[in-house]
Every structure is written in structure tokens, then in C-alpha cells.
Amino acid sequence: MEKKDLGKTSMGLEANVAALLSYLLGFITGIVFFVIEKENKFVRFHALQSIITFGILFVLGFLLGFMPFIGYMLGYLIWVVDIILWIILMIKAYQGEKFKLPIVGDIAEKQVGK
């Protein structure tokens, strides 16, 4: 598969590498790359999608931790979804694909497009 030329970032990284790194530590690296990268919309999209997706999953998992038994079970399920999404999103970002998650991807796209 041939990689698209997504250009460089203001940090000097290839855009696909910066987009992958925006998922590396979930919403934390998403925030870092969203704040640092001002120009490349591909990287900003992936960074914002990371912030929203993994931020929601983090809060949900945290809140479920307070519920005995059923909360732990649902928390485990969220953790599994979290890992699967994390892997898929990093692979798609590295491949240069603007992979949009339902709802979250639309929000990120609208915000970055401004």
C-alpha cells in the first residue's frame, strides 16, 4: 500500500507519525499534539479524536469503578474496547487514513475544519 504524502508538521515530524503519536498515551498525547500542532489538519483531527474518545472512555471507566460488581464488569468491557480502539486508531493514523469514529469523528472534523 502506497502512503499518501500528508506533509510535515510544524514540529518537523511526518504527519502520519505525529497522528499515530497523538494516540500513544490516549487523551494526554492527544492534548499535547493538539496544542503544539497548529497547521496540519490531519494531525489536529487525530489529536482531537484521541482527546474526545479516550477522555470519554477514561471518565466512564473511572465512574464505573465506584459501582460494585456490575461496574467492574462494565469497566472491564470498556477497557477491552479501549485497547481495541487504541490499536486500530494508531494503525489507521500511521497508514495516513483519516479514520473517523461515529459521532466523535464528526465532532473532531468540524472543530478542526474551522
pLDDT tens digit string along 10-30? 888 899 999 999 999 999 999
pLDDT at 114 over 80: no
Asked, for residue 28, whether it belongs to a domain, the answer is yes
Q: How far apart are CA 57 and CA 54, in angstroms?
A: 5
Under 8 Å between Cβ of 9 and 37:
yes
In angstroms, the CA 45 to CA 47 distance is 5
- Is 7 within a domain? no
Whether residue 3 is contained in a domain is answered as no
Domain-embedded: residue 5: no
Tell the residue number behind the cell numbers 497548529, with chain if given: 38
Query: Rounded to two decimals, what is the model's pTM?
Result: 0.88
pLDDT in tens, 22-58: 999 999 999 999 999 988 999 999 999 999 999 999 9
- Could you list the residue range(s) of the whole structural domain that residue 24 is in? 15-107
Is residue 83 over pLDDT 60? yes
Residue 70 lies in a domain: yes
DSSP code of residue 113: H
Exposure string for 62-78, b = 16+ CB within 10 A, e = fewer: eebeeeeeeeeebbeeb
- Structural domain count of the chain: 1
Q: Is the pLDDT of residue 2 over 60?
A: no
